[in-house]
Amino acid sequence: MGFKSDSKYVAEKAEGGCILERKFVNYEVENGIAVVTINNPPMNSLSAAVINELTDVLDELDEKDDIVIAIITGGGNKAFVAGADIKAFGDLVGKREMVVEGSRGMQKCFSKVENSSKVVIAAINGMALGGGCELAVACDIRIIAENALIGVPEVRLGLIPGAGGTQRLVRLVGKGKAKLMCLSGDFYGAKDALEMGLAERVVPAGEAVNEARKMAQAFLGNAPLALRAAKRAINEGSDMSLEDGLIMEASLVGDLFMTEDLREGAAAFLEKRFPAYKGK
């Protein structure tokens, strides 16, 4: 299972923003927010080409200083991402090294989501199963539509999650719930996902992206360097001892006191006005 794709893309300017279009993964940028859409009908499965294009998109977004928030969603109204391309499984039976390479490719892609300099919001607009659940879990925040389903049903196919699910789920929802999900292969509705800690917000059907945009706009009122530092402190600190995490936190606070944004934020507070952050 390789991760190279020969699909071509075109870029075209749009009023008020920019639309970059590939074969499977498109994104639109406007006012500091990038909306990334995975479009591989009918269920937005994670083929090798999709993973390759998503990886390229994540790399591009990380290079753009004017983008602060990225929203990931699925094209259409059926699925966020409904897992891997099961049709390709038959060709991979008995080819261990190819399978390991494919698994590592997905893991590296989703690690780019987790470690992106942008705040990444998953707008779960439909089924998020298998790799789709794993992608959502790699995001910073998950907004799920009330008609969506989420889960890791790999055991029903004789597999386990292979795109980081066994590792990220336990960090997100705890060992017991992660085992329940992985051992049962069950699907969970939006309310259950919220109660389990799989999602931070439930919204009406069709409103996941709109709610993600509203949340992103609220985040944009804060200093971008502080957003990045907060994400880094939480991500990296969760794998450290408490004392090491506290030391890192203090160091990041010190770094922020060296920025123009901190001076602007303090001045705006004292002057009772909205700050004009520059990300410097």
Active-site residue (options: 134, 207, 211, 249) = 134
pLDDT in tens, the chain (280 residues): 333 333 443 444 334 444 557 899 999 999 999 999 999 999 999 988 999 999 999 999 999 989 999 999 999 989 999 877 777 777 788 888 888 988 999 999 999 999 999 999 999 999 999 999 999 999 999 999 999 999 999 999 899 999 999 999 999 999 999 999 999 999 999 999 999 999 999 999 999 999 999 999 999 999 999 999 999 999 999 989 999 999 999 999 999 999 999 998 899 899 998 988 888 8
Same domain for 139 and 15: yes
Active-site residue (options: 53, 146, 154, 271) = 154
The number of domains in the chain is: 2
CATH of the domain at 107: 3.90.226.10
Cβ(245)–Cβ(162) below 8 Å: no
Asked whether residue 4 is domain-assigned, the answer is: no
Asked whether residue 178 is domain-assigned, the answer is: yes
Same domain for 190 and 91: yes
| Active site annotation includes 207 | no
Q: 151 φ, ψ to 5°? A: 170, 175
Same domain for 236 and 142: no
Same domain for 259 and 174: no
Asked whether residue 2 is domain-assigned, the answer is: no
Task: Name the residue range of residue 192's domain.
Answer: 10-220
Q: Are strands 33-38 and 25-30 parallel, antiparallel or unpaired?
A: antiparallel
DSSP summary character for residue 61: H
Helices (H) and strands (E) in the chain, counts: 10, 12
CATH of the domain at 253: 1.10.12
Asked whether residue 5 is domain-assigned, the answer is: no
Asked whether residue 78 is domain-assigned, the answer is: yes
102 vs 135: CA distance, rounded Å: 15
| Active site annotation includes 154 | yes
Same domain for 133 and 32: yes
Same domain for 57 and 77: yes
Same domain for 208 and 233: no
Amino acid type, 186 = D
Burial 4-39 (b: 16+ CB within 10 A, else e): ebeeeeeeeeeeeeeebebebbbbbbeebbbbbbbb
